[in-house]
Amino acid sequence: MRALVSADALLAELRDDKVPVVLVDVQWSLTATAGPPGRELYAAAHLPGAHHVDLDAELAGPPGAGGRHPLPQAHAVEAAARRCGADNDSRIVVYDQGPSMGAARGWWVLRYFGATDVRVLDGGLAAWRSVGGPVTTEPPEPGAGAFEAHAGGMPLVDAEGAARVAREGLLLDARAAERFRGETEPIDPVAGHVPGAVSAPTTENLAADDCFLDAATLRDLFSRKGDLTAGPVAAYCGSGVTAAHEVLALHEAGIEAALYAGSWSEWITDPSRPVATGA
């Protein structure tokens, strides 16, 4: 099942109103310096009926040995989903302000904890506005969903598993190429990449309008990174956010990949783990 929905299709679906849709706003900024990242964006404009979910507080656990955005606790996801009005089998659409980085994290976390029908609004709020979709500044009343969080709904690897994928299959590094090569590291204290990983910047998966490339183009793009059938496939990034975007792109291309949730920010917490640099 495709995980993306176009703005046109969502607008038609909401107008049709045959099947209730739970709208989850995950507007978010990696570089925000004050307040919950995304809260002000949500307050300025969001889809009518959408509830905001805080990526840092509800779609990730506290930063530490598990990385900057480790997996959240099940109870945090459960409470957020219920507040949005979601059950496990609800039709959920997640979006952010544009390139779907935060939305992809929301898609992955909700799927991992037991949601069965989660899609991402391709192109986010920008695409929605481009087709005349309405926005509001009014938050809805809290929902009363019955979502029950159970881990294990999506493939996941830890540091040891990521190293094994790099040896036996294809481990994709979703960060910018210069970070992969170790030429610069603006966020984490150590530069470089997991030995054996292949550079596959998330930005390559997007068209100029910040929507995903079509499935055939994505599959061709990933097939040029390595053999997709020789072994397991997994993705990581700095902290597990843009890697979820990579997993989503792989899913659209027909490739089921695991997420290394701790990603580079966890990998480097153990000085015994090797670090590679260069192309």
Q: What is the CATH number of the domain that holds 72?
A: 3.40.250.10
pLDDT, residue 17, reads 81
H helix or E strand, kind and range, residue 81: helix 74-83
Helix (DSSP H) and strand (DSSP E) numbers for the chain: 11, 10
H helix or E strand, kind and range, residue 172: strand 170-173
How far is it, in rounded angstroms, from Cα 187 to Cα 264? 11
As for how many domains the chain has, the answer is: 2
Please tell me the pTM assigned to this model: 0.96
Tell me the pairing of strands 198-199 and 170-173: parallel
Assigned token pair, 261? 């949730």
Q: Looking at the domain assignment, is residue 15 inside a domain?
A: yes
Which of 53, 154, 176, 237 does the annotation list as catalytic? 237
pLDDT, residue 164, reads 98
84 is catalytic: no
Are 11 and 125 in the same domain?
yes
**In the chain, which residues have pLDDT < 50?**
33-35
Tens of pLDDT along 64-74?
Answer: 999 999 999 99
Query: Domain of 118?
Result: 4-130
